[in-house]
Structure 1
Amino acid sequence: MRKCIRLILVVNLVAALGLGAVGCGKDKKESKAFSPKYDTETEYRLSVVGTYSNFESLESTFERFYTYYPNGEITYTYLDDYRNTIEPALAGTEPPDIYVVQPWMYKDPKFAALFDSAEELSDADLEINLDCIRPGLRWEMEGGKILTLPVFSTSYGMLVNQDIFEKEHLEVPKNYGELKSVCDKLKAAGYDSPVMGANTTTTPGIGYAFAYPMFAKTVADDREIEDRLNNLDASAGEAMRASLERLKEFVDSGYIDIAKCTAEIEDDYNAVIMRFFEGDVPMMLCSGDVVSGTKKRESKSDAFVAKPFAYGFYVAPSGDEGGYYMDSTSLLFCVNKNSANLDLTNEFVRFLTSEEQLGIMAQDKRLITSATDYSLDEVYASLADFPKERTISFRDTEILDTAVKQFRAAAYAIANGDMTVNQAVANYGTIPTD
């Protein structure tokens, strides 16, 4: 049965694999098709473990790989309580061949084994073309070694109802001045809250999606402040001022009705999407991880089914010169250098590491591709050619989670009028985060 399924897939995916063979970081005319290095009749079994309970986009990649190496099986297993179960899994009698890591795990002694066990993917002998990965996402460690493959990326910004903008003869704003002008026109047209979002302290919430990228840019421009931020030194609170003042100005303007957001959006994921699909919200603050849930929910929204509309993801234009694109990794793979199936594991990673395969995976998951070509998913088309001077990658800052939580709590307090900017700045390091 399985071989029959694969034969059908070959027919259905001819176009994809013909293009898919687009190599990374090269002109597409010069790229070469994936060519197996080993006997295609090789029998093998590979295992992948991770944090997603549902990873259909990876499993469809398995099927595409089977068209080259049909006599094997690759399985994906979700590990509950990943923080505490991944290290024992690596040390077990049947360790995974590929496993997920996150940037925040690095330099944490608890997760040292994850990086100690990782193969160097930048080893030229493996012929894994990492040039297709956006430079800001390529994670070079000591000695220039690359141990991780960024599979998905994410960012923070807003979903935009493009039909509303077309109806009202408006352009999506590119900077804060344009945002104010657009919001004034939308309010005049009857949209009480031109911008909405989840009123939470989480990363998809209003304060984080709108103001955190500006804060991160401040830190990226002055890396000397990082240690004080990470050590929760009260003097570092001044770094939050400009972004919090902009957030307060925006909320006080009436362009986003916090009370309305609180009443109509119960959580920072499903409710954000379903409220947006009602079709009367011009701009919805959120994260790329929220956008990933839109495709499956289109058919679950009666309003969207009755009256579908075009939408896209844009950077929130919080800055005077424009918004700031947080080019952040969402999920990374490591190859277990102690794998019993190392050759075929590396072969699968080599197959996966292409503009086309990473693009298809991201499109299926509706997350942002980690490759250089955004064109496969028009939802993220606005991110293509975003100005480098306003792009912040995860390597441009090393703001620890404790510092991020302080900012999120401060932004929430500012948005809800529970704290002044001066108070937030002065109380950095001691702002309650629960």
Structure 2
Amino acid sequence: MSKHITKIISTALVIMLVLGTAGCSQSTNKSKEFTPKYSSDTTYKLSVAGTYSNFESLESVFERFYTYYPNGEIVYTYLDDYSNTIGQALAGQEPPDIYVVQPWMYGDERFDPLFDGAEVLSDPELNINLDCIRQGLRWEMNDGEILALPVFATSYGMLVNMDIFEKENLEVPKTFGELKETCEKLKAAGYASPVMGADTNTTPGIGYSFAYPMFAKKVKDDRSVEGDLNNLVPSAGEVMREPLTRLKELVDSGCIDIDKCKAEIEDDYNAVIMRFFEGDVPMMICSGDVVSGTKKRESKSEAFTANPFKYDFYVAPSGDDGGYYMDSMSILFSVNKNSDSLDMTNEFIRFLTSEKELGLMAQEKRLITPTKDYSLDEVYASLSGFPEDRTVNFRDTEILDTAVKEFRAAAYAVINGEMTVDEAVAAYGTIAGK
């Protein structure tokens, strides 16, 4: 039987991605060697549905699984308009064995079938070992059950041209004070805007990527403010003051030239990467999702091809004592508990969920691994051992999208001089709608 990935844009048929959780040693946090549970001549056909139109890293996992079970096929289906079609797929005559879920779906009644129909991956009888997953990314429901496994994680920070720092004999700054000092030295060395980024009112944009982690940390430290923030109570805007003030200080200090960013970076993804690959930007503010596009674009950049350089991803040093690491989920897999091929679906998940396999998937996609071992991709090596007291994960806060949009709009307004910090704080609840 042929092994391939079928990509289908459909609003009727949907097949989503599975949840993996096995193979991680509880005592050493290193992957155990996978031992097949069934005969190698077992025949099977599994279906996975998701949101990526191109999922090459998953295809690689399929191929490695075939070395243990060669007489089967796993088909991946890309579903267009996923939010509106995954429910139909699960209710259809050929529901997926594995499907993608994302944290924002939980609690929305439109997506209740995704969670109601998900297998409990933490069931001891499944023998799925979740220990390789970082504790902050283990998504336990209120009853302690785990219904979805993180496959990719992401964050916010900056791409750093390590060759520039080596050439100028500088260390990557860890605190905001060090950032300002480093930028002064870089400007003296001829780098007009040591920090750059997309001047957009979006998640990968300068304002959000740099300042939101500090905002989230403040909410984590005082959960009592969440209710008013989420309900857009004007007085809750005070929580934005410190991160917005720090963001304005980044601009006023000359670390970043907003006009230069606006003129040279047209969008918050491709243009960010291609501008960084020109090789003259020491630090590029962005999100981990932007970093995921770097590997494929290296060969598309004439400048990078001619003069390649080493680059890494770092947390932006926004705080006096250091930056804040947003350990965020990107994609999760759930298993259809009503799958006709549940045994082999679970076997695939057991194979997938190890530091090795999840790490390889993340490395190929160039997103952050959800496991405890960052070592497979050097780009993210700086995140290893990041201090817990400056880490924020999805369980630490419950900031709703309405509040997120307000902060993002406020950050954009402040760095572009459309609002002062005082004005943005006072206008909380009305900024995003302007």
Letter in 2 for 1:23: C
Q: What is the distance in 2 between the residues matched to 1:26 and 1:187? A: 49
| Corresponding residue number in structure 2 for 1:84 | 84
Contact 2:151 2:358 in 1 (8 A): yes
Secondary structure of the equivalent of 1:49? Answer: strand
SS in 2 for 1:369: coil
Deviations 1:290-320 (A, max 9, x none): 0000000000000000000000000000000
Letter in 2 for 1:301: S
State the SS of the aligned residue for 1:144.
Answer: coil
> 1:23 Cα deviation (Å)?
2.6
Amino acid at match of 2:70: P
TM-score normalised by L of structure 2: 0.94
Tell me what 1:65 maps to. Answer: 65
CA–CA separation in structure 2 for the residues paired with 1:203 and 1:347: 36
Distance 1:52 1:238 in 2: 38
Which residue is 1:16 aligned to?
Answer: none
| Number of residue pairs aligned between Structure 1 and Structure 2 | 416
* Correspondence 1:23 to 2:24: yes
1:262 maps onto 2:262 in alignment: yes
Unpaired segments ≥5 residues, structure 2: 4-21
| Rounded Cα–Cα distance in structure 2 between residues aligned with 1:433 and 1:172 | 38
Partner of 1:419: 419
Q: Give runs of aligned pairs for residues 5-16 of structure 1, distance below 5 A.
A: none
Aligned runs of 1:396-411 on 2, under 5 Å?
396-411=396-411
- Does the alignment pair 1:383 with 2:383? yes
RMSD: 1.3
Q: CA deviation at 1:433?
A: 4.7
Return the letter of the residue paired with 1:345.
Answer: T
Which amino acid is the alignment partner of residue 43 of structure 1? T
Q: Please give the alpha-carbon distance, in whole angstroms, between the structure 2 residues aligned to 1:183 and 1:118.
A: 49
Match of 2:7 in 1: none
Amino acid at match of 1:388: E
Shift of 1:402: 1.0
CA drift of 1:143 comes to 1.6
Residue 227 of structure 1: how far off its partner (Å): 1.0
Distance 1:418 1:433 in 2: 14
The residue number in structure 2 matching 1:41 is 41
Amino acid at match of 1:61: V
Asked if 1 retains the 8 angstrom alpha-carbon contact of 2:23 and 2:350, the reply is: no
**Counterpart contact for 1:165–1:172, Cα < 8 Å:** yes
CA distance in 2 between partners of 1:333 and 1:72 (Å): 20
Superposed displacement of residue 158, structure 1: 0.1
Q: Deviations over 1:60-91 (max 9, x none)?
A: 10111111111111011110011100000100
Aligned pairs (5 A) from 1:164-183: 164-183=164-183
Shift of 1:27: 1.6
Retained in 2: the 8 A contact 1:405–1:433? Answer: no
Equivalent residue number for residue 218 of structure 2 = 218
* CA contact 1:23–1:33 (8 Å) conserved in 2: no
1:253 to partner: Cα distance:
1.2
| Alignment correspondent of 1:336 | 336
Alignment match, 1:299: 299
Deviations 1:336-379 (A, max 9, x none): 00111111001111100000000000000000000000000000
SS of match in other structure, 1:329: strand
Q: Which amino acid in structure 1 is aligned with residue 28 of structure 2?
A: D
Q: Which residue of 2 aligns with 1:6?
A: none
Alignment of structure 1 residues 173-322 onto 2, 5 Å: 173-322=173-322
Instruction: Note if contact 2:50-2:100 (Cα within 8 Å) is conserved in structure 1.
Output: yes
Distance 1:61 1:32 in 2: 17
**How much does 1:403 deviate?**
0.7
The residue aligned with 1:14 is none
Q: Helix, strand or coil for the counterpart of 1:299?
A: coil
Which structure dedicates a bigger proportion of its chain to helix? 1
TM-score, scaled relative to structure 1 = 0.94
Separation of aligned partners in 2, 1:289 and 1:432: 23
Shift in Å, 1:40:
2.1
Report the counterpart of residue 11 of structure 1 in structure 2.
Answer: none
The residue type equivalent to 2:238 in the other structure is: E
Unaligned runs of 5+ in 1: 4-20
Q: Identity rate of aligned residues, in percent? A: 75
The alpha carbon displacement at 1:111 in A equals 0.8
Distance 1:345 1:33 in 2: 19
Measure how far apart 1:142 and its partner are: 2.0
CA contact (8 A) 1:24 1:133 kept: no
